[in-house]
Structure 1
Amino acid sequence: MTDLPLLGAAIPNDALETLQGFILEENRDLEIQDFIDCDLLNGDWKTVADRTRSLLAGYSGRLGIHGPFWGLNIASPDSEMRALNRRKHLQGIEVCEYLGATQMVIHSPYTTWSFNNLDNAPDRKEYDRLLENCHDTMAAVVKRAEDCGVTMVIENIEDIDPDIRCILADNFNSPAMAVSIDTGHAHYAHGTNGAPPVDYYVRRAGNHLQHIHLQDADGYADRHWAIGEGTIRWPSVFRALSEFNSQPRLILELRDKANILPSVAYLKSLGLAR
C-alpha cells in the first residue's frame, strides 16, 4: 500500500489548523486557498501568509497556492483588463515567493463558446488572437515565475477540448507553464457539453500534467463532493495517471473540508491512493 500515490489537499489556513497533522505527518502536497481573494492581495496578505508559515513549521512537502481568479480572464480582449490580470497574477507570484511555494493554479481562458467558435473564422485568426492576448497578459508573470522557481498550472474550467490548455502552455515555451486537471470540471464538461470522460483528459495531458484537483461530481454541476459521492470512474482516472511519470500533485479540493479524510480512506479502500 505504501507505493500508492500520496494525496494532498487544497485548504485555507482555518482548515489547515484542523488538518495540520494529516499534512505534516507525511509532508503531503498542499495548496493554500486563502490567496484567491483579490481584496486580500490588495491588503495585508503577509499576515495571512505568516500564519501559513507558522502552521507549516517543519514542513518539507510540495507547497502551492491557488492564484486569484474571480472575474479574471488572461485572454481578455481589453488591454486595460489584461493589465489588471497581469497585476493580480504577479501578486500571486509574490505570495508564492514569500511562502516558498513552487506552484500556482491559474484558470484556463477557454470557454464553451470558444470550443464552438474559435474555428468560425479563417486562418485560425481567433486562436491566434486569443494566444496573443494571453501572452500580453502573462509574459511578465511567466518571467517572474521562472525567476522564483514557480510553475503555473492551467486548470480546465469550461474546457471541452482536453488538448487546448496543453497547446497554450507549450506556446510559452517555459518551465513556468504546465497543466492542471480538475476532475469535477472535466466530468461536468463530459456530462453536460459532450466532452471526453475524465481519464481521457488525463491521457491527453500526459506529462504536461503537474497538478490535479480531485473532486467528485455528477456531470451536471461543479459539485466538489467527497470522493465516491458522485459518478466519476475513479479506477480509470488513476489507471491513466499511472501511465505517466510527471508525478502531478494530487490535491483533494472538496467543498466540505470534513470530507477530506473520508475521501482518502475511500480511495485507499479501492487500492488507488493513500
Structure 2
Amino acid sequence: MFGVSTFCLHNQPLSAALHELGKITRYVEIMDEGLHFLEDSSPLASHSLHYTLHAPSRGVNIASLLEPIRRASVEVTGQCFEVAADVGASVIVHPGYFAWEEERPRAELQLKRSIHDLTRMADDLGIQFFLENMGNWNYFFLKTPDEMPLLDGTGFALDVGHAHLNHCLPAFLEYPIRHIHLHDNDGKEDTHMPVGAGTIDFLPVMKAVEREKIIPVIEVDTLEGVRMSISALDRLSRV
C-alpha cells in the first residue's frame, strides 16, 4: 500500500483532489497549503480515507529568532494539530531555518523551544508529529544525519528526495524512520519527479520501509507521476 500527497493536485480544489486520489489509494497526505489549507476538518469528513497532514511551511519558521514569528509559527502548526486530532492523523513538520550562519546556535535554541511547545500540544491532543529532513537549501536545519540530535526525541520523517540532494540518503536510512516521502530527482534540484525518473536507488529505501513497517507516501508533482511511481514501486517489489 502507498499513500499519496495532495501535492500532485495542488492546483485543484481540495475536494476535487481527494475525489481523484480516492480512486488510487485509501491513504492521503494533505499538503496543508494554498488551495488545500484546512481551516477545520470538515473538508475531510466526507471522504472515507486515512490521513496524515503536512503542516504549513510557507511563511512559517519554528526556529525564528524573532520570538513573535516563532510563537505565531507554533500557533499555526498547532492549529494543524487540532485538525489532525479530529481525523486521527499524524502531522509532518519542517524544522525551520536561520538567516545567517552566526545565528545558528540561537536558532537551535528556538527550535528546541518550539519542539517542546509542539510536543506539549500534540500530547494534549493525542496525536503524533514528525520532523522532516530538508533539501539543499542554505540555512535550513536537518539537512544531514549529523543534525539528528536536533530532533530531541521527536520522530523522524525521511524525505528521500531531500536526502538525495544532500548526498546522504544511505546514512539517513540507518536511522529509525516514522514516516517517509518518496519522490525522485537528479541529485541537483528538488524536482519531485516520479519514482524511477531520477538517480535514486529505491531498493534500499523500500527495504527500510519494510524494516520500519511504515506506509510510504508518494509526493510527486503530477497525478500521472503518481501512477508512474506506483508502477515503478510495484516492479521493484518483484526484484
**So what's the TM-score if we normalise by structure 2?**
0.83
- The structure with the larger Rg is 1
Q: CA deviation at 1:183?
A: 1.2
Correspondence 1:106 to 2:104: no
Q: CA RMSD in A?
A: 2.6
Structure 1 residues 18 and 72, CA gap change in structure 2 (3 angstroms): same
1:76 alignment partner in structure 2: 64
2:19 alignment partner in structure 1: 17
Cα-to-partner distance string for 1:217-274 (whole Å, 9 max, x where unaligned): 11111111111111111113223444x43x233100011022212211111112269x
Cα-to-partner distance string for 1:68-105 (whole Å, 9 max, x where unaligned): 1102221111111111111111111111122221x111
Structure 1 residues 13 and 228, CA gap change in structure 2 (3 angstroms): farther
1:235 corresponds to which letter in structure 2? L
Correspondence 1:162 to 2:157: no
Structure 1 residues 51 and 240, CA gap change in structure 2 (3 angstroms): closer
1:236 corresponds to which letter in structure 2? P
2:172 corresponds to which letter in structure 1? Y
> Equivalent residue of 1:87, what SS?
helix
Cα-to-partner distance string for 1:185-239 (whole Å, 9 max, x where unaligned): 111122xxxxx2x232111xx22x1111100111111111111111111113223
2:42 corresponds to which letter in structure 1? D
**So what's the TM-score if we normalise by structure 1?**
0.73
**Identity in percent:** 26
Instruction: State whether residues 235 and 272 of structure 1, in contact with CA within 8 Å, keep that contact through their aligned partners in structure 2.
Output: no
Q: Structure 1 stretches of 5 or more lacking a match? A: 1-5, 119-125, 191-195
> Equivalent residue of 2:25, what SS?
helix
2:233 corresponds to which letter in structure 1? L
CA distance in 2, matches of 1:112, 1:183: 25
CA distance in 1, matches of 2:44, 2:122: 20
Show the 5 A alignment for 1:76-225: 76-101=64-89, 103-109=90-96, 126-127=104-105, 129-158=106-135, 159-164=142-147, 166-169=148-151, 171=152, 173=153, 177-190=154-167, 196=168, 198-203=169-174, 206-207=175-176, 209-225=177-193
1:142 corresponds to which letter in structure 2? T
Query: How many residue pairs are counted as aligned between the two chains?
Result: 226
Structure 1 residues 107 and 262, CA gap change in structure 2 (3 angstroms): same
2:47 is aligned, of 34, 43, 55, to: 55
Structure 1 residues 16 and 39, CA gap change in structure 2 (3 angstroms): closer
